[in-house]
Structure 1
Amino acid sequence: MVTLRIATFNLENFDEVPPNVRPSLAERVAVMRPQIERLQADVLCLQEVHGQERPGQPRALLALAELLAGTKQAAANVVTTSGPNGEVFDQRNLVLVTSLPVMARAQLLNTLVAAPMYQILTANPPAPQPMPILLERPILHVELDLQGVPLHVIVVHLKSKLPTNIPGQKVDDFTWRSADAVAEGAFISSMKRMSQAVEVRRLVDSILDQDPAGRIVVAGDFNATSDEVPLVAIRGDVEETGNGALAGRVLVPVENTIPEPARYSLFHHGKGQMLDHILVTRNMLAHYRGSEIHNEVLHDESGAFATDVKYPESDHAPVVATFEFA
């Protein structure tokens, strides 16, 4: 019997900082490394992992290496998103760390979904013509070898609900000039989020077109609860398609087995929200043994005085699911 633990964790802007800035990387590592160790993950899906630079060397995930030092993931395979030059991105890399053999890797960014065209209404000066609403965050698809059977892991970080910037409509980083510009910015963010959701769903279907028995896991920060439109679109429930023949293509949120009062991975204004998910194809449920959300000491970063100096850990809770394979 092989036990497989799959986890997702948004590390929240995980990076080095200047010497006069707190919390330092060392302070963050001291709090967060025990979180990584507790997961005991064989497949660890990470979001918001920033890259670091050294003179004469390509940008690399040096801060992450420091976090994983001394853990079971320290010697594991690391697969990450990267730019056209092969270097990791400066910010918000998606990373998969695993002890399983890596068979293939792909990165999708408006690959299966063309960018929608939209003319911004509230821009100042006015937008002269429609423009493509391009995605900023890629999707990472990694094919792993699980006892000779492919395991497809898709790591995601969907666009946040924060309004997209509108030219000429910001006084400063936190102050908008008009309410309708805020509304339009939120609408554009929702287009980006849904473009990613459709791309994920199309990727899942393309895998299942080639292998109807394919094992698929979609994990990450979805910036949406399971009943919001992006998650509903990705899940493909029969209640939505109306087609029972598509039941084998449904993705199931494993947190459904966790009692609802404990089912949250982030606090916002005192309310727990489940934004970090692990979705699996129904054929994975035969091997599913349970889930955990490590939210016992989760803080509310939206509260007054809840600065990173007081809370060097992430504002997201890790989520982990356990499977057993004969």
Structure 2
Amino acid sequence: MRHDDRTTLPYVVRTGDGVGHLVGPLAYTFGNYKIEPLAPPATIPVVEGPIPQLEQPGPDEFSVATFNVENFFDNKEPHRPSDPPKPSRAEYERKRDRIVETIVALGAPTIVGLQEVENIGVLEDVAAQPELAGYDYRAALIEGPSSRDIDVGFLVRGDRATLEGVGQYQAPEGLFSRPPLMITATLHTASAGDVTVYAIVNHFISKAGGEALTEPRRVMEAQWNAHLVDQILAADPNAYVVVLGDLNDYYDSAPLRALTDGDSPGGQLVNVLGALPPEERYSYIFQGVSQLLDHILVTPALAAHQVRVNVLHINADYPPPDPENPGPRHCSDHDPVVAVFRVGE
């Protein structure tokens, strides 16, 4: 449902709400059928409960999440992007607190890869909040060349893992405006001992310039990730490697196939979202069409230990919130994705 002037909208319609007594002429503009109501329709809102709380990983498990947090900027100067403007302190804190609430709802993942983060300071601020303080999250971020100051980063649970190394891997000729960030982490499990995991977080180029024009670049970005994975697998063919992030393309698209159906081992990863039924495979909604843009792909050695995967549908299905009473939903335009693996007995 769409309303052309939000300032006159007397209600907010969310996914699942009922709409009745919708009467008016049928129009067709910009590729969509529309009804021009003669009178305000009746709505039957769905009562919203608290957001779902996913289970934390067990003593022999670890979890990996990806979350595009949509323009997570601090309240300090300099603020380079003209859009959106620099948030007020209150706006920044509301955004931060809702991101914290989402991480808790995801079951406090062992490793969280984030996109659209301004700097490491905002990640450290997230980690320092009381709701997360007990997990001793460690932040990792290296600023890249993005003109909008949106970078990729990690939060790693210090109570469950040791962050061993962080590196940014720009492809030749500056392919990425948000270069991939790789971490090496040692996970501490109850029965399997210490386990090494490599994770590479990405934010591929969007389709804003047109899908046909931008897809070749996303394919090259995917191929560069496959190359990075190849280098790890050359030293250890059974390494646990995760490629994750907002890849800005679909489950069966050419860029994703470059990571799952490529010629080298690094291009033969397993997309963990394949374990979900198709109707649950979405993390973003554009003009009413649900899409899966956020992915977690792993090497076959790690895929053998997959326990479960969830897309926490708390953002994409919901309209932007009331700034004065934001609530827990729609703190971003993307839904977060989390996968759990069991490596011990």
Q: Deviations over 1:246-280 (max 9, x none)?
A: 67962111111111111110111111111101101
> Which of 144, 149, 165 is residue 195 of structure 2 equivalent to?
149
Partner of 2:243: 218
Q: What letter corresponds to residue 69 of structure 1 in structure 2?
A: Q
Deviation at 1:214, TM superposition (A): 0.9
> Which of 209, 213, 218 is residue 193 of structure 1 equivalent to?
218
- 8 Å contact 1:28–1:312 — kept in the other structure? no
Partner of 2:230: 205
> Which of 251, 267, 271 is residue 269 of structure 2 equivalent to?
251
Q: What letter corresponds to residue 276 of structure 1 in structure 2?
A: D
Partner of 1:171: none
Partner of 2:22: none
- 8 Å contact 1:106–1:140 — kept in the other structure? yes
**Greater relative CO (CA pairs within 8 A, separation 6+):** 1
- What residue ranges of structure 1 are gaps of 5+ in the alignment? 52-59, 116-132, 164-181
Q: Distance in 2 between matches of 1:293 and 1:234?
A: 20
Identity of aligned residues (%): 29
- 8 Å contact 1:81–1:138 — kept in the other structure? no
Q: Normalising by the residue count of structure 1, what TM-score does the alignment of the two structures yield? A: 0.71
Q: Distance in 1 between matches of 2:321 and 2:206?
A: 20
> Which of 102, 105, 117 is residue 49 of structure 1 equivalent to?
117
Q: Distance in 1 between matches of 2:136 and 2:292?
A: 31
> Which of 94, 105, 112 is residue 38 of structure 1 equivalent to?
105
Q: Distance in 2 between matches of 1:161 and 1:248?
A: 25
1:269 aligns with 2:314: no
Q: Deviations over 1:46-73 (max 9, x none)?
A: 111113xxxxxxxx52365147512336
Q: Distance in 2 between matches of 1:43 and 1:137?
A: 19
1:8 aligns with 2:66: yes
Equivalent runs, 1:133-144 vs 2, <5 Å: 134-144=175-185
Q: Deviations over 1:113-141 (max 9, x none)?
A: x33xxxxxxxxxxxxxxxxx743110111
Q: Distance in 1 between matches of 2:196 and 2:235?
A: 12
Q: What letter corresponds to residue 149 of structure 2 in structure 1?
A: Q
Deviation at 1:149, TM superposition (A): 3.2
1:107 aligns with 2:181: no
Q: Distance in 2 between matches of 1:76 and 1:89?
A: 28
Partner of 1:125: none
- 8 Å contact 2:227–2:266 — kept in the other structure? no
Q: Distance in 2 between matches of 1:63 and 1:155?
A: 15
- Name the CA shift for 1:308/1:209 in 2 (closer, same or farther; >3 Å): farther
Partner of 1:93: 151
Q: What letter corresponds to residue 36 of structure 1 in structure 2?
A: I
Deviation at 1:234, TM superposition (A): 1.6
- 8 Å contact 2:186–2:194 — kept in the other structure? yes
Q: Distance in 2 between matches of 1:5 and 1:195?
A: 28
- What residue ranges of structure 2 are gaps of 5+ in the alignment? 1-58, 76-84, 188-192
Matched pairs, number: 263
> Which of 44, 67, 80 is residue 141 of structure 2 equivalent to?
80
- 8 Å contact 2:170–2:179 — kept in the other structure? yes
Deviation at 1:323, TM superposition (A): 1.0
Q: Normalising by the residue count of structure 2, what TM-score does the alignment of the two structures yield? A: 0.68
Equivalent runs, 1:141-180 vs 2, <5 Å: 141-146=182-187, 147-163=193-209
Q: Deviations over 1:274-306 (max 9, x none)?
A: 1101101111123211001011453467xxxx5
Q: Deviations over 1:146-166 (max 9, x none)?
A: 343321111111111111xxx
Q: Find the residue that maps to 2:218 and give its secondary structure.
A: helix
Q: Find the residue that maps to 2:304 and give its secondary structure.
A: helix
Q: Distance in 1 between matches of 2:254 and 2:136?
A: 38
- Name the CA shift for 1:82/1:4 in 2 (closer, same or farther; >3 Å): same
Q: Distance in 1 between matches of 2:251 and 2:90?
A: 33
